């Protein structure tokens, strides 16, 4: 059984690439965590939405993607809410990751329409609406294989000028 725990590191100086020690982990408690497996957390750029996968009761089946929200960075996290049937299916949806601008959410799923466990992407217009995600699209054979493709991490490399998608396969 997993639990979502946040750990923060802050820069010591904006011009030097030095970071402080990690803070003591803070368990987010039963308002976010369940007795099921809760894993693969991803936080929004504004730090007000925490997404993760869970196989808790009441979902659509397998693992679903949930979000917990808070009013400000100093506020407590609210109850975890299922993203609903636009994102979640009776199969597994796992390990969300976001584009820097918050318009894209990448995740792995074994839902029909893919080659196996594949990387999918969903888009939204309003970056502050956690429930405005559009139906997900499979990234296709150029990214996915017949194996397990999961753990996406989307990196917008300003030096190269080309976004890069990292994942395990």
pLDDT of 33-68, one tens digit each? 999 999 999 999 999 999 999 999 999 999 999 999
Q: Kindly indicate the confidence band of residue 156, based on its pLDDT and cuts at 50, 70 and 90.
A: confident
Q: How far apart are CA 141 and CA 24, in angstroms?
A: 42
Q: How far apart are CA 31 and CA 20, in angstroms?
A: 29
Confidence check: pLDDT of 131 > 70: yes
Who has greater pLDDT, 158 or 82?
A: 82
Cα 11–chain centre separation? 24
Q: How far apart are CA 53 and CA 127, in angstroms?
A: 20
For the chain, helix (H) and strand (E) counts, in that order, are: 0, 12
Q: How far apart are CA 35 and CA 32, in angstroms?
A: 10
Confidence check: pLDDT of 12 > 90: no
The residue among 112, 118, 106, 167 whose CA lies nearest residue 146 is 118
Confidence check: pLDDT of 2 > 70: no
- Which residues, listed in sequence order, are joined to residue 128 by a DSSP beta bridge? none
Tens of pLDDT, residues 78-94: 999 999 999 999 999 99
Confidence check: pLDDT of 23 > 60: yes
Per the listing, tokens 């820069």 go with: 11
The residue ranges of DSSP E strands in 55-133, in sequence order, are 64-69, 81-82, 93-98, 104-109, 118-123
Tens of pLDDT, residues 112-128: 999 999 999 999 999 99
């Amino acid at each position: 059984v997993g639990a979502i725990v946040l750990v923060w590191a802050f820069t010591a100086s904006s011009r030097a690439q030095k970071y402080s020690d990690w803070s003591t982990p803070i368990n987010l408690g039963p308002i976010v965590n369940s007795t099921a497996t809760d894993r693969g957390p991803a936080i929004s750029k504004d730090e007000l939405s925490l997404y993760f996968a869970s196989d808790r009761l009441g979902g659509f089946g397998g693992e679903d993607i949930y979000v917990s929200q808070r009013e400000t960075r100093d506020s407590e996290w609210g109850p975890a809410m299922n993203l609903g049937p636009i994102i979640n299916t009776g199969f597994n949806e796992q390990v969300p990751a976001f584009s820097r601008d918050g318009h894209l959410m990448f995740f792995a799923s074994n839902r029909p329409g893919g080659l196996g466990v594949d990387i999918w992407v969903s888009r939204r217009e309003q970056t502050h609406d956690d429930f405005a995600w559009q139906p997900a699209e499979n990234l296709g054979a150029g990214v996915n294989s017949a194996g397990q493709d999961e753990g996406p991490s989307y990196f917008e490399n300003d030096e190269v000028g080309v976004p890069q998608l990292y994942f395990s396969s």
